[in-house]
Amino acid sequence: MSQQVVTTCGKDCPDACQVICEVENGKITKHVGDKSHPVTNGVLCYRGSSMLKRVYHSERVLKPQIKENGAWKEASWDSALDLIAGKLNEYKSQYGSLSTLFCTYHAGTSILKGVMAKCFWNLFGGVTTVSGGMSMEAAITAQVADFGNVLPNLDIPESKNIIIWGKDAVVTNPHLVPLLKDVQKNGTKLYVIDPLNNDTAKLADKHYQIRPGSDGLLAIGIAKIIADQGKADEEFTSKYANGYEKYKAILDKHSLDDISNATDISKDDIAELAAIYSDRKPTGTWFCLGPQYSNKGESNIRLIDALAAMSGNVGVKGGGSQFGINGAIAFDLSCTDQFVAKESRSITLPLIGTQMAGLQDPPLKFAWIAAHNPMVLTCNSSKVRSSFDSLDFRVLVDTFMTKASESADVFLPTTTYLEEHDVRFSYGTPFVCPINKVIEPLGESKSDFEIYQLLADKLGFGDKLKGTPDEWIEKLMGPLKKQGITLSQIREGQVVNKDIPTIPYEDKVFMTESKKFEFITDYEFTGTGESAYPFFLIAPKTVKTQNCQVLPEDMCDMPDAIINDSIAGNLNVSNGEKVLLSNKNGNVEANVVIDSSMRTDCVWVTPSVFKNHPGTINELRVEVLTDGGDEAAFTNSRVDIKKA
């Protein structure tokens, strides 16, 4: 007899699709989207719909492994955890607890993974952790500075115009796309600002093919015209904001000619965008990684926010400047405060290869890698691999052997979201979502939550981490309980977090210390990338890859390099021929795909993860940070292209 279980996709994605699973004799026979969900409507993307292949894949590792003489051998959980506990205590005794590195990111989106990890490592005494990242850190820093929080306008049907700025929604936010198409049918105009003529740009009423990294300048140019025409929202800028005069000085010091030359957007098009923001509002702006991936990433987002604010598109129906939701406000994470680390130290994730090697007092000896694959996802990945290889001992917690496993000494098999109890929030919709255990863990795999509890027992503080997943989640639900929401309700299906407004800041009261919108008051455009290399390297996500999470059968031998026909002509290469992409970090071979819509100063590499190269495309990413948030400034990575 079959059983039906509701759960939520655990992928790092704003859509957080609700999933219906059918189970027969302990095996999942069906994994489909929930048609009753008001946003995702039962449609799963490829990454979600292929999850069963991942769960039951023949290459999935289901027993602990210990590396001996360079070869993996199966081990019991007791022996693996005894070995790990012994190494942790040894290095802590000799060098202190900071000699251990805890390296993680966002491969898992559930709440308990992060909570239990923080509690465990604090109880251990405090370890070296990573800060910054490869995704949204610049935007979060920017929006907290401007608005005080990260809250989007969710009333897209009220927009007369929608600006999609550096966001390929077809790939990264697929359930937004039907809504965009619907509002277009009802008269809303869709505009896309992006260097690439991607699938989202092809949906647009008009595509503005901006030069990579110049997004802040374009926002300045649009706002400059609005201000010069006397169309700025003076009530907003005078009553509900700080810093407008200094922001206005930023606009005044840039000429439209210079802006047009730097952005490759004509003055007529800049004027057209100014009219969209000031004369045809409400205009809603949706941005994503594109504007952030620059050495001026935080400033770019703050300038986009400022444009929306000064033009009267903040706190109004159909307006806003947004990329996601701080869904974490649904939870009170202060329960972790009871376990205070005696010591703390962090290194910056995009610079991890360099910073690991330079650490002393104490040097790093041990690494625990979970929910992340730093060997391929971080900048200058060959240096990252070298830094991890130099450590004395490394533990990898994962479901498959990855590039990180080549450097590891112990592999601990973890569960997928279909084999564990947890909760998550959506950062694209106002939902709190259940992660319900659909089946028992396959083989000997265990959740991160249970792994930490078992290792804590070995280290002598297991009593402090006792409890079931639901008992721990109950501790975190204070904000939801105030709304009358119970865990049992969440277990039945996604619930709306009422603390997330449909139209944030409608009362013009912001969550900054001043309670006002804070305009950016200082900005200097410094250009992007190294002039020694002529081509911007752009390698966005694809429909089959979730960062480096990709099924083995979906991983190609080498990527495509999509280039303009004029570049192909200069190189004397045709479709399918090979080229070498190179910079000071190394080189990557790729197949040529000629596309006349490509900018002549860009190469679009897809996918970014492939088989026949140790570091994938991040081998060529340079170690440059955004100006806020310590995010990787990927746009600053430039390459040369030569015929292979």
CATH of the domain at 471: 3.40.50.740
Domain match, 172 and 287 both: yes
Question: Which pLDDT score, from 0 to 100, does residue 632 have?
Answer: 97
Mean pLDDT of 124-135: 96
Specify if 293 maps to a domain. yes
Domain match, 318 and 276 both: yes
Domain match, 340 and 451 both: yes
CB atoms inside a 10 Å sphere around CB 13 = 21
Question: Which pLDDT score, from 0 to 100, does residue 404 have?
Answer: 85
Specify if 490 maps to a domain. no
Question: Which pLDDT score, from 0 to 100, does residue 530 have?
Answer: 65
Percent share of the chain, pLDDT over 90: 89
CB 300 within 8 A of CB 291: yes
Specify if 305 maps to a domain. yes
pLDDT in tens, 417-450: 999 999 999 999 999 999 999 999 999 999 999 9
pLDDT in tens, 322-373: 999 999 999 998 888 889 999 999 999 999 999 999 999 999 999 999 999 8
Order of all β-strands in the sheet with 410-413: 71-74, 65-68, 410-413, 393-398, 366-370, 100-104, 128-131, 345-348
Domain match, 230 and 286 both: yes
In angstroms, what CA-CA distances link 425 with 140, 324, 469? 16, 12, 16
Specify if 430 maps to a domain. no
Domain match, 337 and 391 both: yes
pLDDT in tens, 626-641: 999 999 999 999 999 9
Domain match, 183 and 247 both: yes
* Six token digits for residue 208: 């503005």
Last residue of a domain, one of 289, 323, 357: 323
Question: What sign results for the dihedral spanned by CA atoms 276, 278, 283, 287?
Answer: positive
Domain match, 161 and 258 both: yes
Specify if 528 maps to a domain. no
Domain match, 96 and 211 both: no
Last residue of a domain, one of 323, 347, 376: 323
Upper half-sphere CA count for residue 579 (Cβ side, 13 Å): 28
For residue 529, what pLDDT band results from cuts at 50, 70 and 90? Answer: low
Domain match, 181 and 315 both: yes
Q: Is the pLDDT score of 1 beyond 80?
A: no
Tally of domains in the chain: 3
Domain match, 300 and 344 both: no
Question: Which pLDDT score, from 0 to 100, does residue 547 have?
Answer: 72
d(CA 479, CA 329): 7
Order of all β-strands in the sheet with 495-496: 422-425, 431-435, 495-496
Domain that holds residue 560: 535-643
d(CA 471, CA 487): 10
Q: At which residue do the structure tokens 């550096």 appear?
A: 166
Q: Is the pLDDT score of 155 beyond 80?
A: yes
Here the CATH number for the domain that contains residue 598 is 2.40.40.20
* Six token digits for residue 339: 């376990």
pLDDT in tens, 46-89: 989 999 999 999 999 999 999 999 999 999 999 999 999 999 99
Question: Which pLDDT score, from 0 to 100, does residue 318 have?
Answer: 97
pLDDT in tens, 446-483: 999 999 999 999 999 999 999 999 999 999 999 999 99
Mean pLDDT of 385-398: 97
Last residue of a domain, one of 293, 323, 353: 323
Mean pLDDT of 89-118: 93
Domain match, 158 and 304 both: yes
Specify if 13 maps to a domain. no
Domain match, 301 and 205 both: yes
Global pTM?
A: 0.96
Specify if 46 maps to a domain. no
Mean pLDDT of 592-602: 98
Specify if 269 maps to a domain. yes
Contact residues for 361 (Cβ-Cβ < 8 A; gap 6+): none
